[in-house]
C-alpha cells in the first residue's frame, strides 16, 4: 500500500529539467534570454522589435506610397528620431584636460525649471555626486552630472508609454556609455573605476528620480500583478516536494537560508532602482544556493530553478511582475545579458512564467483534483510530498529533540555533581592527612612551640592529678582509723550528702572537661 502511495506521489511531481544552455538567447549570441522577450536577450529583442516596426511600416505604407517615396519617408523618420534623441541629451563635450568648468559637480546644478525631489531622489543625488567626486576627475564629473541631470529633467517632461520610454532611456545609456567609454581618462593609472561602474550609478540615479514614471506605469500592469499574486496564493499547497527540490528542512541552517531568500525577494519591491532590485535578487538566489549546499544537493539549474519557484510560492512578493518589467526596461542592458545577475534574473523570469502557466498537466494530476486544491475546496492528502517540507512539523520535532537533549544533559549534570561532592570529600581527607604528614616532617618554629606548650600543660595536669590522688588517699586512711577506734554500735552512722563531691573527683572532672 505504501509502495503504491509512493509511486503515486512520484507521478505527481513537477517535471522540470533545465540546463544552463536553455537559458541563453535563442539567437545564439551567447547572452541570457528571458521569456518576456521570447527567450531573446535585451539586445536581440530590441533588434527584433525594430525589424517588426520596419515591416509594419512598410506594409502599412506600401499601398499608399511608391517605393521611392516610402524610402524617403522612412529615412526622414529615422533621421528625425535620431535628431530628437541627440537633442534630448545634448550636452557640451567632455574635456580631455583636467581643467574644470565653473559648474558644480552635483546633478542639481544644471539651470532648469525647479522640481521638488522626493527623499529617495535627494539621497540618490547625494550618492551619485559623492561617487563622481571620489572616482572621476573634476571636469569629467561635472560634465556627466550636467548630462544626467538634463536627461532626468527632459524625461520628467515627457509623456510616453512604457516601451517608448524604455527605448529612450536605453538609447541614452548607450549614448552616454559610448561618450565616456572613448575618454582617455579610463585608460590612465589614476582611474579608479570602470565605465560599467559609472553607468551603474547613472542608471541608479535616473531610475530612482523617475521611479514614479517608470514603475507600474499603466493600470493594466497593476491589475496583472494583482492577478498573478492571487494566482500564486492559490498555489500555496504546491510544496517543495511537488517541485522535486532537494532541500533538507530538518536542518536549521537550511530553514534560515530559505527565510533569508524569501526576505530578499520581498525586499525587491522596496527598492527604487533596477541596480538595487537586481542586488536583492542576487542575494536571494545566493541564499538559495547556500540552502542547497547545506542540504548537500547539486547547485545545477535542475535543482536551482525548482527551489526558486518554491521560494516564489512561499514569499509571494508584491508586484513582482512589475518589478521584473521595470528591471528589463530600465536596467543597463549589459547587466541583463551576462553575469550572475543576468543568470538569476533569467531564472526568476522562468519561475514567473511557470507560475502563470502551471496547470494540472504540470503535476500530472486530474484537472478536477488540481482545480479543487487551487480553489481551496479540497486539501491534498497527507503524503511524503506535502508533509516532508512542513516546517512547523520540523520545528516541533526539533523542539522535542531539544527538550530530550536538555533533560539528558541535566541528568548527566546531577551525576557529575554527585561525583564531584564525593571526590571533594575524599580530596579533603587526603589533603588533611598530607598536611599532617608534612607538618610532622617539616615542623615550623611556631608549631614546635605550640606542641611543647601543650605537652607542658598536660604534664602539669598529670602531676596535679597524682598529687591530689595521694592526698585524698592518705586522708581517707586516717579518717577510717579514727572511726574504728571510736565506734559505738548503738550509734547510727552519719549519711553523706548526695551533692558532696570529693576534691579528687572535682579535679578529675575538671581534667576530663578540659580534655
Q: What is the pLDDT of residues 194-210, one digit of tens each?
A: 888 999 999 999 989 88
- pLDDT score, position 64: 41
Question: Average pLDDT of 24-43?
Answer: 61
- pLDDT score, position 189: 81
- pLDDT score, position 27: 64
Distance CA 284, CA 261 (A): 4
- Tell whether the model's pLDDT for residue 153 goes beyond 80: yes
What is the tens place of the pLDDT at every residue in 448-474? Answer: 888 888 888 888 888 888 888 888 777
Comparison of pLDDT for 312 and 506, the residue scoring more: 312
The region of weakest confidence among 54-63, 208-217, 221-230, 381-390 is 54-63
- The DSSP element (H or E) to which 8 belongs, if any, is helix 2-11
- pLDDT score, position 260: 94
Q: Residue 316 CA to chain centroid, in angstroms? A: 18
- pLDDT score, position 5: 43
Question: In the CATH scheme, what is the code of domain 233-389?
Answer: 1.20.1050.80
Q: Is the pTM of this model over 0.95?
A: no
The region of weakest confidence among 179-183, 193-197, 261-265, 289-293 is 179-183
Alpha-helical (H) ranges within 442-489 are: 445-485
Distance CA 218, CA 226 (A): 13
For the record, the C-alpha cell of 297 comes out as 544537493
- Tell whether the model's pLDDT for residue 262 goes beyond 90: yes
Query: What is the architecture of the domain spanning 119-214?
Result: Orthogonal Bundle (1.10)
Cα–Cα distance list, 245 to 17, 159, 251, 286, 292 (Å): 12, 46, 15, 16, 9
Query: Could you tell me the residue ranges of all domains in the chain?
Result: 21-64, 119-214, 233-389, 391-459
CB contact set of 465 (below 8 Å; sequence gap of 6+): 507, 508, 511
Amino acid at each position: 500500500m505504501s509502495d503504491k502511495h509512493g509511486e503515486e506521489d512520484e507521478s505527481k511531481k513537477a517535471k522540470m529539467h533545465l540546463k544552463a544552455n536553455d537559458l541563453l538567447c535563442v539567437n545564439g549570441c551567447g547572452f541570457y534570454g528571458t521569456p518576456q522577450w521570447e527567450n531573446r536577450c535585451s539586445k536581440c529583442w530590441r533588434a527584433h522589435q525594430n525589424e517588426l516596426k520596419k515591416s509594419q511600416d512598410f506594409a502599412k505604407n506600401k499601398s499608399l506610397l511608391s517605393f521611392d517615396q516610402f524610402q524617403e519617408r522612412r529615412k526622414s523618420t529615422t533621421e528625425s528620431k535620431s535628431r530628437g534623441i541627440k537633442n534630448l541629451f545634448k550636452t557640451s563635450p567632455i574635456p580631455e584636460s583636467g581643467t574644470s568648468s565653473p559648474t558644480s559637480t552635483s546633478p542639481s546644478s544644471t539651470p532648469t525649471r525647479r522640481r521638488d525631489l522626493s527623499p529617495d531622489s535627494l539621497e540618490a543625488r547625494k550618492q551619485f555626486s559623492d561617487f563622481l567626486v571620489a572616482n572621476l576627475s573634476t571636469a569629467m564629473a561635472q560634465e556627466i552630472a550636467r548630462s544626467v541631470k538634463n536627461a532626468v529633467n527632459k524625461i520628467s517632461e515627457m509623456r510616453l508609454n512604457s516601451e517608448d520610454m524604455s527605448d529612450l532611456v536605453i538609447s541614452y545609456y548607450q549614448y552616454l556609455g559610448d561618450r565616456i567609454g572613448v575618454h582617455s581618462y579610463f585608460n590612465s593609472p589614476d582611474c579608479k573605476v570602470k565605465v560599467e561602474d559609472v553607468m551603474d550609478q547613472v542608471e541608479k540615479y535616473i531610475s530612482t528620480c523617475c521611479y514614479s514614471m517608470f514603475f507600474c506605469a499603466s493600470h493594466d500592469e497593476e491589475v496583472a500583478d494583482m492577478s498573478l499574486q492571487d494566482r500564486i496564493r492559490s498555489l500555496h499547497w504546491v510544496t517543495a516536494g511537488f517541485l522535486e527540490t532537494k532541500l533538507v528542512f530538518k536542518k536549521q541552517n537550511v530553514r534560515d537560508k530559505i527565510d533569508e531568500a524569501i526576505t530578499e525577494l520581498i525586499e525587491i519591491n522596496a527598492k527604487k532602482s533596477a541596480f538595487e532590485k537586481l542586488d536583492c535578487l542576487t542575494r536571494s538566489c545566493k541564499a538559495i544556493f547556500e540552502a542547497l549546499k547545506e542540504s548537500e544537493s547539486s547547485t545545477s539549474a535542475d535543482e536551482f530553478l525548482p527551489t526558486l519557484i518554491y521560494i516564489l510560492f512561499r514569499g509571494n512578493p508584491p508586484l513582482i511582475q512589475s518589478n521584473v518589467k521595470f528591471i528589463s526596461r530600465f536596467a543597463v542592458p549589459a547587466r541583463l545579458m551576462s553575469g550572475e545577475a543576468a543568470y538569476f534574473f533569467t531564472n526568476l523570469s522562468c519561475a514567473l512564467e511557470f507560475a502563470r502557466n502551471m496547470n494540472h498537466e504540470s503535476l500530472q494530476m486530474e484537472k478536477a483534483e488540481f482545480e479543487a486544491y487551487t480553489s481551496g475546496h479540497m486539501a491534498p492528502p497527507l503524503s511524503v510530498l506535502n508533509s516532508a517540507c512542513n516546517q512547523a512539523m520540523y520545528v516541533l520535532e526539533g523542539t522535542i529533540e531539544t527538550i530530550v537533549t536538555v533533560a539528558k544533559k541535566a541528568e548527566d549534570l546531577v551525576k557529575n555533581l554527585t561525583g564531584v561532592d564525593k571526590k571533594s570529600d575524599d580530596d579533603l581527607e587526603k589533603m588533611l592527612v598530607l598536611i599532617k604528614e608534612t607538618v610532622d616532617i617539616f615542623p615550623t618554629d611556631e608549631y614546635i612551640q605550640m606542641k611543647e606548650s601543650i605537652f607542658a600543660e598536660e604534664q602539669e595536669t598529670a602531676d596535679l592529678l597524682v598529687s591530689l590522688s595521694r592526698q585524698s588517699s592518705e586522708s581517707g586512711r586516717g579518717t577510717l582509723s579514727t572511726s574504728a577506734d571510736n565506734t559505738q554500735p548503738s550509734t547510727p552512722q552519719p549519711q553523706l550528702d548526695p551533692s558532696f563531691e570529693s576534691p579528687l573527683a572535682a579535679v578529675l572532672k575538671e581534667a576530663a572537661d578540659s580534655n
